[in-house]
């Protein structure tokens, strides 16, 4: 009995020792493979940096789509028991940049559109259409002639408006010249002290074109499965601060499977002319509208955000 016990104990200790040794060996092999993978990734990143430094076009696009539809019949617990509703939204961030030894040409498009529908079937006067809710359109083209590795003499054309509703009312066209700073790849900062901000609108009493300075900062990057773009566009009017404006838009996309993932877009804007025009349109009487001006009207911060499925091109 004692011999059997000693034998079983020895066998148990041997099995434990073998398992422990096997685990240590596997962990060592894993560490070795991970080190090799890290080294290979570093080499791939270095090669990609060399590719990015080569002259030529860089093109890309990513966007976000989202939506839902629903239909209710005799759902008495809600105010409109018979209704059809839905919302649809889509964003597109696209760029086409030409990089050469002596010059560059960067082109960008930002589009954010959304529609919503609430059809109360018991109300014959209710709309059955999808009505636009989010409406952003921005396109820009920047040309730069290099002075050195970091600075370039540049010219910028930028146009922004709404696309679905009130197209070009208002619409803004910036044309200017100055300098562009490119401290790192994928980032450029435009500094144009000579820029004219053309404003197109039916209401000439509120919207006014003016001369001023233009500053744009744009960063577009793709790191593995993550794509993102951030753009800040600012105009400072030399005539009046009430004619100044700025817009900051951001788009993020994370690919989960093949080219499909999750996307998030948000934007901020400050524009006193748009705020004044909206306030005048909301006034109850023409006399009340005439009494509203830049001095007594609040220029509240504008914002939007969109979350949904994304698709990378």
pLDDT, tens digit (0-9, with 9 covering 90-100), for 275-294: 999 999 899 899 998 999 99
CATH level 2 (architecture), domain 60-312: Beta Barrel (2.40)
**What pTM was computed for the model?**
0.76
Question: Is the Cβ–Cβ distance between 114 and 130 less than 8 Å?
Answer: no
Say if residues 245 and 273 touch (Cβ distance below 8 Å): yes
**Gap between the Cα atoms of 107 and 295, Å rounded:** 37
Cα–Cα distance, 256 to 250 (Å, whole number) = 20
Question: Which residue, among 175, 174, 178, has the nearest Cα to 153 in the 3D structure?
Answer: 178
Q: Which is higher by pLDDT, 24 or 234? A: 234
- Picking from 272, 292, 270, 271, the residue whose alpha carbon sits closest to that of residue 281 is 292
Residue pLDDT, tens place only, 202-261: 887 889 999 999 999 999 888 888 888 899 999 999 999 999 999 999 988 888 887 788
Q: Whole-angstrom Cα distance, residue 194 to residue 198?
A: 13
Nearest to 301 by CA among 275, 279, 265, 281: 275
- Indicate the domain borders of the chain: 1-51, 60-312
- Supply the DSSP string of 221-257, one letter for each residue: EEETTEEEEEEEEEEEESS-GGG-EEEEEEEEEEEEE
């Amino acid at each position: 009995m004692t011999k059997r016990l000693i034998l079983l104990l020895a066998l148990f200790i041997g099995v434990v020792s073998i398992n422990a040794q096997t685990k240590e060996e596997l962990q060592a092999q894993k560490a070795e493979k991970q080190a090799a993978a890290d080294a290979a990734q570093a080499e791939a990143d270095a090669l990609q940096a060399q590719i990015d430094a080569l002259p030529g076009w860089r093109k890309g696009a990513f966007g976000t789509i989202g939506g839902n539809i629903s239909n209710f019949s005799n759902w008495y617990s809600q105010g409109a028991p018979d209704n059809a509703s839905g919302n649809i939204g889509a964003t597109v961030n696209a760029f086409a940049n030409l990089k050469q030894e002596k010059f560059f040409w960067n082109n960008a498009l930002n589009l954010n559109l959304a529609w919503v529908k609430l059809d109360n079937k018991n109300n014959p006067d209710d709309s059955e259409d999808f009505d636009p809710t989010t409406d952003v359109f921005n396109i820009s083209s920047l040309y730069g002639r290099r002075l050195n590795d970091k600075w370039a003499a540049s010219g910028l054309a930028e146009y922004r408006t709404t696309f679905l509703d009130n197209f070009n009312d208002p619409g803004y066209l910036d044309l200017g010249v100055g300098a562009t700073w490119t401290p790192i790849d994928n980032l450029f900062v435009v500094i144009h002290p000579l820029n004219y901000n053309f404003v197109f609108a039916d209401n000439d009493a509120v919207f006014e074109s003016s001369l001023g300075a233009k500053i744009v900062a744009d960063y577009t990057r793709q790191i593995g499965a993550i794509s993102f773009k951030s753009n800040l566009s600012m105009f400072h009017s030399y005539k009046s601060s009430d004619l100044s404006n700025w817009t900051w838009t951001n788009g993020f996309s994370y690919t989960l499977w093949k080219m499909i993932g999750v996307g998030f877009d948000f934007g901020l804007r400050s524009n006193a002319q748009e705020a004044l025009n909206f306030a005048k349109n909301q006034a109850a009487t023409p006399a009340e509208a005439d009494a509203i001006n830049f001095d007594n009207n609040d220029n509240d911060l504008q914002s939007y955000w969109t979350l949904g499925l994304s698709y990378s091109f």
